[in-house]
Structure 1
Amino acid sequence: MGARTSPAEGPEELTVDQLAAKVGMTVRNVRAYAGRGLIPPPRLVGRTGYYGADHVARLTLVRELLGKGYTLAAVERMLTELPDGALALGVFETLVTPWTPAEPEVIDEHQLAERAGIPHDPATIEKLIELGICERLDDGKLRIPNPDLLRTGLEVIKLGVPLDAIFEMLPKLFHQADEVAKIYVELFRGTVWRRFADAGLPADGWPEVQRTLENIIPLAGQALVAAFREAMGREIEIAAYEELGLPPDELPSTG
């Protein structure tokens, strides 16, 4: 057996109790996840195991993935297929972290109706749940996963747009958003990621991949808003002229 080293040497190391406290888990869960191979074995000093930054990163990611609704089996599969190292974990965490900083909100049905300025209607609530705008909790309250989306919808309602029209429009909006997202994801996969994967996932390439991921989402949003603003202007102009009886081909060129 080699010479024992002090746990104080080198980077900060934690006992299992300290690790559990740091990542917000019980010691029992930490041991269970270790038993499933979700974290590598600790560094042993005698009979005491010491854990480092990689263990913290992995367990934090496990907790966040489980919190997003992934099953433990799915988490286990993702982590076992992931290259070792905190850099790879950081990239993966970027992938699963929502873009919007808004935290989910919990309100009751009557508060929601009051915000919308409309009478409380259980059928309306069920439709919102069906569309994924809100989720019903065990205590009967509503969890709003994306408060920004709800807030925008409420403002549209206050402008006088009927609920039925909004409910009809939302699935189309979600579909178009999915299609745009796929365009950007495939752009990333077919260029930056493909070059990185073809190079054998070199360790020094992870930071660049993560920077690209962190930047491409807001840039995609900016490009989408700019393109949408231009398209919206054209469509409003066309509709306005059509309502006045002027055919679209008589409109000034927008090209």
Structure 2
Amino acid sequence: MTEYRINELAEVSGVSVRNIRVYQDRGLLPPPELRGRTGWYSEEHLVRLNLIARLLDRGYTFATISELLIAAQHGMKVEHMLRAAPKPGRIRSFKRAATITISELRKSLGATDRAISLSQKLGLLAKDGAHYAVRSPEVLESAELLVKQGVDIESLLERWVRVESDLSDVASSFVSIITDRFFDENLPNLSEKSMSELAELIATVRPMAYQIVESTFSKALDAEISKAIGEASTYFDENGESDERES
């Protein structure tokens, strides 16, 4: 895969170094991969820059482009992105109270009994008398946005459950780097000091594993977002040309 320093990316994309940094500051362009003191940009960054340029040429503002990117990040379809922006979410009012009733859950999220059960399993909600304690107001607010745009809440939560299961397997595979090496016939003979050292060694896996998973997922997510925005951009172009012909 071709990689670019920022000056090289500016040259091939036709976007100035200054504007590349502006797009990064505004969250429109992912940061480069740092190796030493040098930031390296990929083909995905080039694709994203081209898409941003096309949308800007069509008159879309930074705020609108940002909304499109966020919508694509949440897996929304093109027709969902083209709908009018929803009103502020009901979940906002629960950020202080941190509680919500079952009727409010059904009204704001269209939550079924299964959706509520999944939310409890994932730690988003906790039963608190006649109410539910909201553990992650920001997540519920984002979920409400998606529901208002036609996304099924149960489908979203079921994907979360699958991801949780997959990541459990990933975590196990990283820890096994240590356990497969040391948890053998010598384990019963390890001293308390050796066990403590072994625990510290396992702990060193955590930041490494987190960085690998985060970096890998970030790249995959950026690729899918660019793909979705590319489809949206094509849709805009085709419909724009159609509108011009009709006029």
Q: So what's the TM-score if we normalise by structure 2?
A: 0.42
Higher helix share: 2
Larger radius of gyration: 1
Instruction: Report 1 or 2 for greater relative contact order, CA contacts < 8 Å, sequence distance ≥ 6.
Output: 2
Q: TM-score, normalised by structure 1?
A: 0.41
